[in-house]
Each structure stands twice: as structure tokens, then as C-alpha cells.
């Protein structure tokens, strides 16, 4: 599936992770993006290796309070990565956004790391309107 982020960038989903926890609080959607220093545009073998090994990074978020869903995404043309998450509150999303970008920043190309929180749309609602119809 191809997803168009609110800023217009398109990413292909290569994995989905979910949590069994249900949320009674309003959901918040979080986007995180980065481009690793060691995976330049067009580096297909390195990109695929990272994508296979990235499942080990699940420990960085799966136990976090408030985590619900993560879509793991890549832009194959640029080797840029993004995560599209659902959190049970904007506070949980903000905490994780600050935490994960602090970890990613030293590993990424300068200026390529960031995050944004969306409180006006739950992940399922967003995906219903922002999937590329060709995917």
C-alpha cells in the first residue's frame, strides 16, 4: 500500500505492527521521518537489509504507554523512511516523537529527521482518505 503523508510525500508500507491495547482516549496520529546516513538513494540492498533488521527496533516503541499501531514505510526513490503511528493521546505521541527523533538524529542525514502530531484525524480515518488508489 502507498500512503500519502499530510505534507504530500508518498511512502510504501513494508510492515505493520499493532498492540493489543484498546484506547478509550481520543487517538493521535504521529508521523516520524528520517533518512539514514548509510542508505543513500538507490541503495536497494542496504535498504532491504535495514527493512528486514528494523523489526528489532520494535522494542523502542512496542512497550511504550499509549502505543497502538505503527506503519513502517519507505520511499524507494530516496531511501527515506517514515513511521505512521496511532497513539492513545497527543501527550503519548509527543513523548515518543521527541524520544525517537533524539535517537535517529545522529544516525540520519542532517536535517532529514522530524515528527509531527495530528489530533484531528485517527489513523484509520486518515488512511481511508489518503491511500494512493493505485496501490
* Domains of the chain, residue spans: 2-129
CATH number 3.30.70.100 is the correct assignment for the domain at 2-129: yes
Position 134 pLDDT exceeds 60: no
Spell out the residues 6+ positions from residue 2 whose beta carbon is closer than 8 angstroms to its own.
10, 11, 12, 13, 131, 132, 134, 135
Torsion, Cα 61 89 98 8, to 10 degrees, reads: 90
Considering the entire predicted model, what is its pTM? 0.87
Whole-angstrom distance, CA of residue 26 vs CA of residue 119: 8
Whole-angstrom distance, CA of residue 5 vs CA of residue 112: 15
Position 63 pLDDT exceeds 80: no
Query: What are residue 84's DSSP bridge partners?
Result: 31, 71
pLDDT tens column, 15-56: 988 887 766 666 899 999 999 999 999 898 999 998 888 888
Amino acid at each position: 500500500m502507498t500512503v500519502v503523508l499530510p505534507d504530500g510525500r508518498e511512502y510504501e508500507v513494508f510492515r505493520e505492527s499493532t498492540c493489543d491495547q484498546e484506547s478509550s482516549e481520543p487517538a493521535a496520529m504521529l508521523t516520524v521521518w528520517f533518512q539514514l546516513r548509510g542508505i543513500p538513494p538507490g541503495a536497494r540492498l542496504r535498504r532491504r537489509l535495514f527493512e528486514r533488521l528494523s523489526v528489532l527496533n520494535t522494542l523502542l516503541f512496542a512497550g511504550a504507554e499509549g502505543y497502538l499501531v505503527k506503519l513502517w514505510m519507505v520511499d524507494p526513490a530516496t531511501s527515506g523512511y517514515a513511521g505512521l503511528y496511532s497513539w492513545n493521546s497527543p501527550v503519548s505521541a509527543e513523548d515518543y516523537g521527541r524520544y525517537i527523533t533524539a535517537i535517529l538524529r545522529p544516525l540520519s542525514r542532517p536535517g532529514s529527521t522530524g515528527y509531527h502530531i495530528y489530533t484531528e484525524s485517527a489513523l484509520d480515518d486518515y488512511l481511508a482518505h489518503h491511500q494512493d488508489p493505485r496501490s
